[in-house]
Structure 1
């Protein structure tokens, strides 16, 4: 009787990017610089919002929560990216691989829900200004911020646990971190049913969340167009533009990787586009939220002046 040789592998090998010659150290240094700047940028945003009372509003509170999530989100995958860029093929234990997969998707879905919460905050601020502070009290802010990772980490249990039960016949992951599609390509069995579950859990939930965000911004757009002056309309649009940009980057790149590419079987492209939402989006978020934001610039001036005053010696007072 013939038996199919299914191998429950104890480890995988991350293939990473095929870069040789002078480009290898340059790619490593580039990724390292972006990673360090991402950490510094998000830490500065958190510190600035905590240090300046002028930023003690629900909008900036949620921005600080987003920056906190981004610190962990980018740190889940970039270390393995740096290792593969420096050493080429990198072994990773199956346990570490599945944990990375789970944490990455849990943080990603947490961020997805948080973007929805931030859209709700903007909706209440613009469409319900008289009741805004009552509806978005400090207790409500804390509850929404606390519920975000609970929902994200709970939802990610389903795809991560299903992947962990698959038998794998191959070991080389054609990616720089453990993700769903590259791992399923290594399985010894048909993964069509798993694909359907992942579409329902990840695709449908995130699509519904995106639908809620678009619906809220549709209501915001209608309210803004009814404002009497062009200056007030411009101010309202400027407040929302940063969040809309982040939503477009996050959902756009994730949609391409998890919906478009699996349908056309574009192996290798997923890791390129994954750089957008796993590395570049956390890097750009602090820039997007601060570059054209007058309130943040004024807060930086106030905090800087306060630090300068504290550093002055008694002879300078």
Structure 2
């Protein structure tokens, strides 16, 4: 009978880093520390953007969204990784795998668009400072953030729904998470439609936002170089430096994973990149923004109660 040899898998085995058993404890400690720092750092950043009135601006609205995204992104995969690193049976049920795939894709996709939106926000702030409050009013900012979320979630839904319909000839995923490319390697037959969907979404979410970011920073750099005062240039570089650092880290890892040649057989390297991309980048985001931004540092100090007391008379 047609399709007789195709099994509908209810359980998947995540191979992860099981080939390196001596490394698993080190990876567990590394991942746990990075995850806790990520949660603490991003929660703190969200808290100060909500509580501090000085940070009620478009830049920090987008930054709060970015922090929330990083929490969701890491929470979709890292807890499963931590459990499996200590377990001999590294398994995940089908529904858990589907949810994990969707959350990772939707958060990653949304972040791609949001980083481009943040670049546009910096472009308006530096190149059109007098019109900035009018162009980037709260309603516009909320709409731009909403579009980022909706686009990311819908493209992830499209990819996940197509991926879950493809018959799989195995249930051992050579990854530490239900990453879509690793799952598709188990497909019994290649799907031209799935390949087309992946290609279109990858181009929509990676090169196009990256091009918009480059264009925005081209105008920004041109404007900064025309600023006469050194203090003004330093301030402009400071506000853009943190965002540009995050963009390079995020897109560098994403482009190396999703737009590499299909003939590349580097699954082990992919897992390392995924771990850095999924743990290190979200952890570094609040650190980068706090170190490069005086307002964020002051708000954090105020929140943590570290403001120096006036000397007693």
Distance 1:37 1:261 in 2: 34
Q: Check 1:236–1:170 CA distance in 2 against 1; reply closer, same or farther (3 A cut).
A: same
**1:45-90 Cα distance to aligned partner (Å, 9 max, x none):** 1111222222222111211111111111110010111122111442
CA contact (8 A) 2:110 2:148 kept: yes
Pairwise CA distance, 1:268: 2.1
Tell me what 2:122 maps to.
122
Q: Check 1:265–1:5 CA distance in 2 against 1; reply closer, same or farther (3 A cut).
A: same
Runs of 4+ in 1 over 6 A off after TM superposition: 1-4, 306-309
Unaligned regions of 5+ residues in structure 2, if any?
none
Tell me what 2:218 maps to.
218
Tell me what 1:20 maps to.
21
Unaligned regions of 5+ residues in structure 1, if any?
310-315
Report matched runs for 1:170-189 at 5 Å.
170-189=170-189
Pairwise CA distance, 1:197: 2.1
Tell me what 1:156 maps to.
156
Alignment RMSD: 2.1
Paired residues in the alignment total: 309
Distance 1:33 1:281 in 2: 14
Tell me what 1:259 maps to.
259
Tell me what 1:140 maps to.
140
Report matched runs for 1:184-203 at 5 Å.
184-203=184-203
Q: Check 1:95–1:301 CA distance in 2 against 1; reply closer, same or farther (3 A cut).
A: closer
Whether 1:45 aligns to 2:42 is no
Pairwise CA distance, 1:4: 6.4
**Under a length normalisation based on structure 2, what TM-score does the superposition of the two structures give?**
0.92
**1:129-154 Cα distance to aligned partner (Å, 9 max, x none):** 11100111111122222222111101
Q: Check 1:251–1:88 CA distance in 2 against 1; reply closer, same or farther (3 A cut).
A: farther
**1:198-241 Cα distance to aligned partner (Å, 9 max, x none):** 01112333211111111111111111111112221121111101
Q: Check 1:187–1:304 CA distance in 2 against 1; reply closer, same or farther (3 A cut).
A: closer
Tell me what 1:312 maps to.
none
CA contact (8 A) 1:12 1:173 kept: yes
Single out whichever of 140-149 and 3-12 deviates more from structure 2: 3-12
Pairwise CA distance, 1:27: 2.2
Single out whichever of 298-307 and 216-225 deviates more from structure 2: 298-307
Distance 1:108 1:251 in 2: 10
Distance 2:282 2:268 in 1: 22
Whether 1:294 aligns to 2:294 is yes
